[in-house]
Structure 1
Amino acid sequence: MEGRLLEAARSGDLQALHDAVGEDDSILQKLHSCGCVETPLHRASMFGQAEFVREYMRLSSISAHQLSQLNRDGYSPLHLASANGHLEIVEFILEFVKQNFAVVEVCMKKDRDGRTALHSAVVSGKIEVIDVLFVNYPDAAKEVTFHQETVLHLAVKHHQHEALMFLIDQKLGSSAEGLLNLGDWEGNTILHLATANRQFQAVDYLVRQSSLNVNAENSNGLRALDMLFVNAFNSNDAHIEETITLAGGSRSQMTTTDVQTRLEHQPSDTSSRSTSQEEDDRDAEHKWFTELRSGIIVMASVFATMTFQVALTPPGGMWQDWGPNAATSNSSAIPTHKPGETILYDMDRKNFRSLMWLNTQTFFSSIATILLVLQAFKAQSAAWIMGIYCAYFTVLIIVAEYLEIVRLVTDKNLFNHGGVLPYLVIWIVILSVALGSFFKKSLRLFRTTPHLN
């Protein structure tokens, strides 16, 4: 049902929506009350299906709190509609929250990067959406992201020159003075960013703002003009240098080498030269991490179920009848076996106990893997790394268990066949390489993603 609704939201199929509600009139409310991370409202807002959004909100009796719910990618319906420039949906949502006195809750809802819907519209350069959001809740322009970026930082960082001018000239008014010289968490003002990214048009526009401090220094003691001397000379550099100099700008007392050294020690994902492509790469790695965690939990669950089943139906099966002595006329005879007893246990107790020991180890290792990886959902990197090792150890035990079962059932040792051992060694090497790759990538992800540490 949920899958059909999501597809209907994507295509704007109102009939499918009505059919779903007809089958279960509480289905829409259930989707939100159960904490579903991806609702049809998110999907319709992303793809601009305005009529579907209107009808969905009418049928679902959605609350303002549910309307601000984030999906698995960390965006609310208003974020998605704003980022994609779906003005009609943005206006309808804003009208709804005004009637429910929830403008602040919805408009100030932040995504996983600490961005509001206004921030999302600025990043995408959607001027009409910026205008509507600003009119309905102008205080959103004062909010900063988790990296202390203002709406002006985001406009410059994502090369949205038109949005930058629109905000400063028509929307911010007197509050623009403070935002022009406000630094992000690296202390970079918008002039630092525009200069570092060689945005000549933005630099030329900014230096004409009377309240701009052209000589503001970031947390590394660098001025905007210093940002030109980081990389190789660019054709725009001379124009930018002249523009800033004419506006009264000057370099700091550092040498070019000092400037390069200072900037090289800035974290790559938070430097003034970071791009949207770098953010996309980080998002892709985070998605990989989440999917891999889910995959390991499924794998460990299968292992635990499989080993439990082995205990119920061991290799070789169980005796279905009483031993031959039970059929004799002597009622006091002791049967050699009973129904339900393991056949292999009667035949070779020592080897059967070895097999059951391996099976028990697999079961508890699988359970440990599940617990550790679940603990990793609380962003504890040590638990995650131990979970990978437990999964690796579990796979090795299962291989050993399989070889032991073959030996017990067929009375043949696979290692006596010359072709088996080389393949086994190759398989172990491949598994070890995969483990090392997962470990390195996970470790890098923990280091570059602050909220996972």
Structure 2
Amino acid sequence: MDGKLREAAQSGNIDNLYELFREDPHLLEHIDEVPFFDTPLHTAAAAGQVDFAVEMMNLKPSFATKLNPDGFTPMHLALQNDRNQLLFELLKINKELIRVKGKKGVTLLHYAAEQGDADLLAKFLAACPQCIIDVTVGGQTALHIAAEKTKLEALELLARWLRRTHNKDGGFWELEVMNWKDKEGNTVLHVVASNTENQVEMIRLLLECGVRKNIINLSGLTALDILQRRRHVGNREAEDILSQAGGLNAYSISKSRPLAELLRSKVEFSERLMITVTRARLNIPSDTRNAFLVLAGLVITATYQAIFNPPGGVRQAEAGSTEVPSEAGRSIMDTNSFLWFYIPNTAAFLTTLFLTVLFLIIGPNGEVVLFPLVPIVICYVMSTLVITPTPKFTYFIWLTLAIAAASGCWLFGAHLYWLLKIKKVNRSSGEINKSVLE
């Protein structure tokens, strides 16, 4: 870089910058053509020249993502030189700069985790939540780095932020980032197990945040294996905590062969039903599925409402009478006519309800869909009991309730059984590639 341009950047003299443009209007373009270069923005960022850096960002935004020969962006240099005011001013212009990777794939979030700066971590996550998923060339997340550098406060902030974030992808981040494996197959829990400082506190924190305890790294070790091999260091308390929380060693996991046992087991009818529904559901276009759910909602509403307002209405109490006769509120239809109304209406109601449940129940925690439907079916049956033309018809109504209840319990039990079967394998093996089960 030209000496005059470097001097202008270090001193923050914007007027001198434009004087250089008069001499060479393509000055910045020439710099931008070089892949790795200390641009004026790098120099201004290291020197903390806020106004000059913002001016340069306006003139040449690409400088903000360019690496110098040492592998650093202007943002990295600002952070390394404690130029936080300049750093935040540039982030106001482009928050995605937090995710730009420097040498070895290190982002600003990784650097803040390495330094243990909880305040910076909080501001970075608030500005750009997506930065939590960035990894270095070694496959390390910010949690790996905080654990490796024994930065307890940083690890607390990162782990608990994952649990409380309201981002639409928060559930995926909490599951994946918390259990992410680096190039050696180590999760954050493996890294903590290899430490000696803040080990007990970090293990308790990770267990609280739902980390998977029995993932096996590429060396064939779980976190408990690492603790047991380092028992001489004096970390018996950490070993006891992890063991009591369900931590296993690799030998116990391989001996149980949970995945092999699952794949060898007989495919039962309930499991086959769930597999068939899942395949069908995944093959249906999203637009078609959404249209079906809208139509199903209309059918359920119409059939449910028909029970409250049966054709022809209901018998009313006589005007001026102080006593309510037993027939008041019952349908004016005779028994045969009521059967012709009740049977197809109930069949449409329960069938549509059943199909809707099958469309919605597949997936993690899908069984919660059943809970609001149980009182709906109960209200439907109780309403029918009230409007039946004759009390003798109530036995038929109770039979319908029994069939619906039995079908619902079976569907719930079949789905829950399959989910527990999958979760048992995940807990015992610690690491099963999701593509195997999907």
Q: Normalized against structure 2, the TM-score is what?
A: 0.49
- What TM-score results when the alignment is normalised by the length of structure 1? 0.47
Query: Using CA pairs below 8 Å that are at least 6 residues apart, which structure has the higher relative contact order?
Result: 2
